[in-house]
Chain A
Amino acid sequence: MKLLNSFLLIVVFFVSSSFLQTKVEPLKNSPQTASIQINLVNLPGVDNEKTKWEISYELRIISQKEEYQAVKAGKLKQMETEEKIGLLVGKGSFSKNLLSKNENRQFKSNLSLTDEIRERLKNQPASQINLAAAVMDEKTIALVKEQENKSQVFLLYATALVYDAKLKKNIIIPLNRVMPFSNHPDANFEMSLKIEDNGTYSVNLIVPTNTTSGITIKQ
């Protein structure tokens, strides 16, 4: 049994040491565009021609450090539209009716990324430091700070206004989301929106499964 334990420790050390890191490695490449896709997957009055939906949105970008500051200041609590923060990536709005047609229940917008934004995304750390396993010394703290400055976070400020003619209801749905670039490396943001027969709704942000994994810092 002792022999088996020693073997496991050696294996763990071998695996961990393969992720040793002394500096934050950048991604070096970035997407040309960001996209927002929203799918209205269900609503009771879908077949009623008076049913319609409308969306207005703004996509913004901040660093992870700015995100922490905003959280502390309570600015990301409700993501009130009056207190938008970050650099604007793009904004727009749309309105559609005749929702029985599938294409009218989908919305996609491609937003070109400026050079400034692309540069920020290129400098995004290729992997995230595993703080739980890190030894906290000056070097690690410096690395963590660098990571916070370089990691990028997208902020979606968006609202959907749906009129369901079957329910005879106007429904306002906040779609505001904080979306770390590390979870969406292609800068594609896809959401599904579902309205139930009683007028309640749910919003689901799809997070890609192949997101970056954490790494362990060891001295």
Chain B
Amino acid sequence: MKKIALIILILPLLVFGQKPSPKSTPKVLSEKEQKLQIQKMQAISLIEKTAEEAVFWEDKKTAVEVMAEAADLLWEENQTISTKWLVKAWKITDEVSDLPKNEKMAQFFSYSDKTGLRTIILRVAQKYDAALAENFLKQLAEKDSDEKKAKGAFDDKTARSEQLLRLAQQAVENNPNLAFTLAERSLADGISYNLQNVLTDLRKKDANLANRLFDLALARFKNSPPDTSEAQILAGYLFKSGFTFGTNSGGETILVVNPNQQNLPAVAQSEPIRTRNFLSAVYQSFFTRPILPDTDENKKKAADILVLGNSVAGYYERFASELAQPTRVFLAQLQILLYPNRQNQTSESGDGLDSLPKNATKEEIYDALISYLEEKADKESDAIAKKIAYIKAAVSTKAEDYKRGVKIAEKIDDENLREDAVSFLLYRAALYFVQKKEIETAEELAPQINETLRRAVVKIGIAQFLLQPKIDKKAVQAETDFDRQRAFGLLSDAERDLKKEDSSANLVKIFFGKTSVLAKFDKTQALVSLEETIQKINKIENFNLKDASAPALGLDVSSASSATVFAPRVGFGFQDAIEPLIETDFEQAASIVERLAAKEMRGVGRIEIAKLFFQKNNKLLSQK
């Protein structure tokens, strides 16, 4: 009934909204095309309604995200209204916190929600209206003096350069020239950390552009007051892509790694002249001026120079050999001045591996490490430290070596902690075997997992595997049918278990995962499951519909444990659940999302549905 009412409401829009075309004869639309046109109007209506409401939401962060996304989706449909949303969203960012998102990481980056939102808006503006993006950047330059008081070691120089480099990073893949121009403009504010990422990615697309950008950056470095952080950025690009060294406020060496840019060939090898120019500039700027670490400020400066020196010293011999000796002497003297007591220190790893022969195999090293951790736990006298030490040892075992892990965990003298640890080790092992396609072992382990949510994730993971199209085309239909039955059985089991559980973010994610797997073979059941999921969401205070990460089912007392789990390749997000339903059940899915109680969440849900609809029917938007 709801579906019919919706169509009746939208039909007049469709009829009266179309401009008359005087000459061409009206094209007769097929039933399918008519349905798509109606759905298109509905999707547009969802976006417009949500963007207009978002202005009044209390959650400003979500409001800005939604408005920027709405503008991106409807720009070609209605440029005026999209510009209006984007300008409004830009204004609202002033009301969003600029405190670092992650306090623990603040010494590295003070990246805030405000920064992230500005990037989102600028990306959309840059895509459709460069003048509008320019206007936003101009406003940022004016605001710079008031913002970003406390900086992280790897923060970009200014809010403006940060945004320019983020835009450049986004443009590299499809428009290297634009990326170059944006990054070049960022140099007006100095050499920022993100320039290294842009340089590395730009080089992959166009080495000449990267060289030109590097030369400009080096010229900037030479003509500005010496700054070790700037030298570290260029050194990272030349010698070790993906790595940048720095120091924190206490003078300790800190390092940031970009995993996407690791293990690339060193640029220095193919650019010896540029490398020599760089090393000479560094020498002139830092290694010819004695510095006495007599005050805290000078100590920090000296520590910065020493860290930089130690990271580049090894390259002088090859690229600027006449400077190698004086650089070594300078750094040795600085080391003694800064750390007079570090001359005779010896190191001992303390991980029980010192007694191993040099040619020990990986297995021998693993075995020795686990034995060492277990013995250390055995010897611990503090009651709680002992329990934590056993957990550390058990979690350190390999996922497939779960029997050893369980044996260690069984020594924990605390029933709750022991059961939790054992359940985690079995869960981790089962997911490992799913990933390795050893389904029978995973199925054996699943019922042994005491904890409901973990057991449900394993069952959903197995069900998903069983429903994958068979690579072996000879697989008989009967076998496929049998696997479908097994999958359905596993999902029903999981559902029965989950019904007893209190609502939580993890439970919602698992429900989304279940819905997404169900949608592959039973859309009706998937819609029922989606509806149940919405009910679960309405029972919790907050849930991020855009969070597609796997549920966090690691050990409460070991934050590192989650990272050791092979998460199943089931999508656990809202999009994953909705996506298989969009083409067949768009109206029903949209109608279910309307039952989300929180207006912000409902808005995000509508935008996600509309976005998926247009992704599936991308040609529709260009048709007026």
Contacts and interface: CB of A to CB of B under 8 A. Distances in A.
A56 B416 contact: no
Contacts of A170: 416-417, 420, 555-557
B557 A172 contact: yes
Interface stretch (B54-62, B197-205, B309-317, B379-387): B379-387
Interface residues of B, number: 13
A171 B555 CA distance: 10
Contacts of A183: none
Interface in B415-436: 416-417, 420
A171 B384 contact: no
Nearest to A82: B385
Contact of A93 (B384, B417, B555, B556): B384
A160 B388 CA distance: 12
Interface in A146-162: 159-161
Contacts of A54: 383-384, 414
Interface residues of A, number: 16
A189 interface: no
B417 A159 contact: no
Contacts, number: 42
Contacts of B383: 54, 56, 93
A163 interface: yes
Q: Most chain-A Cβ atoms within 10 A of its Cβ — which of B382, B385, B420, B555?
A: B382
B416 A163 contact: yes
Given A169-B556, A171-B556, A161 B385 contact: no
B504 to A, nearest CB: 10
Interface in B338-391: 382-385, 387-388
Contacts of B416: 50, 163, 170
A170 B388 CA distance: 11
B417 A81 contact: no
Contacts of A58: 382
A172 B384 contact: yes
Contacts of B556: 169-172, 199
Nearest to A94: B383
Interface of A: 50, 54-56, 58, 81, 93, 159-161, 163, 169-172, 199
Interface of B: 382-385, 387-388, 414, 416-417, 420, 555-557
25 contacts: A50-B416, A54-B383, A55-B384, A56-B382, A56-B383, A56-B384, A56-B385, A58-B382, A81-B385, A93-B382, A93-B384, A159-B382, A159-B385, A159-B388, A161-B384, A161-B417, A163-B416, A163-B417, A169-B556, A170-B420, A170-B556, A170-B557, A171-B556, A171-B557, A199-B556
Q: Which 3 A-B residue pairs are closest in the complex by CB-CB distance?
A: A163-B416, A159-B384, A56-B384
